[in-house]
Amino acid sequence: MGTTRVRILEDGSRTNKRLGVAELWLAPGFNGPPQHLHRKHEETFFVLSGTVDFTSGHDTHRVSPGQLVTAPVGTPHTFGNPDSDQDASILFTSTPDLYMEYFRDLTRLKPGPEGLNPADIAEVMKKYATEPGSPDHPHNIGAHPPPEATDGPPCPGPGPPVKRTCAGVRRARERQRSSECCSPSCWSGGATCPRR
């Protein structure tokens, strides 16, 4: 797959297709795929080594080892390795396992002199309910604060703020839509919310 290597750790065969897990290695300077969105699966990216830039919409977040990024259904996103000298690695999950076969299909494409043909990649993406997504795509559910940033000032309301984690991508999206949290941060794994 060009400058990205993928090792499938769980293809869904032992999880009743509920979860796929892979390790991704990004070569130094790898720009990543174009922004895209998924209609039938959600993804998480846990950075193991190096530095990875994740982009959703117009916002790019530099993520370090030990940080987790989520890409809910319908959220345009991409990722790349900004370091021109060091590899980066990611533990990747797909819920359900849909995207494990996508990686296998990419290995079957014939690269040209400049790598894989973007039109061929787009055809493979279609098989897995994935489409190009731009920063202004109507299904972009909003910007996420960078993982290294604080969640900002506490939300107004009774009682002191508490730190809560986004227990699941669906719950996080619901919170974003309902404005339960003043500063949703699925990208960094938590949000500053008023006590309920």
Write the pLDDT tens digit of every residue in 82-110: 999 999 999 999 999 888 888 889 888 88
Query: So what's the pLDDT on residue 111?
Result: 82
Model pLDDT, residue 134: 66
What does the pLDDT look like over 112-132, one tens digit per residue?
Answer: 887 778 888 889 999 989 988
Q: How far apart are CA 110 and CA 66, in angstroms?
A: 35
Task: Write the pLDDT tens digit of every residue in 9-35.
Answer: 999 899 999 999 999 999 999 888 888
What pLDDT is stored for residue 135 in this prediction?
A: 58
Question: Residue 1 above 70 pLDDT?
Answer: no
The mean pLDDT of 159-171, rounded to a whole number, is: 36
In the predicted model, what is the mean pLDDT of the chain? Answer: 73
pLDDT of 155: 35
Do residues 106 and 1 lie in contact, with contact meaning Cβ atoms separated by under 8 Å? Answer: yes
Proportion of the chain above pLDDT 70, given as a percent: 66
All domains of the chain in start order, with CATH: 4-132 (2.60.120.10), 144-196 (no CATH)
Q: What is the pTM of this model?
A: 0.67
Calculated CA dihedral for residues 30, 91, 129, 79, nearest 10 degrees: -30
Higher local confidence (pLDDT), 134 or 64: 64
Pair type for strands 59-63 and 88-95 = unpaired
Q: Does residue 163 or residue 2 have the better pLDDT?
A: 2
User: Beta partners for 27?
Assistant: none
Q: Is the pLDDT of residue 175 over 80?
A: no
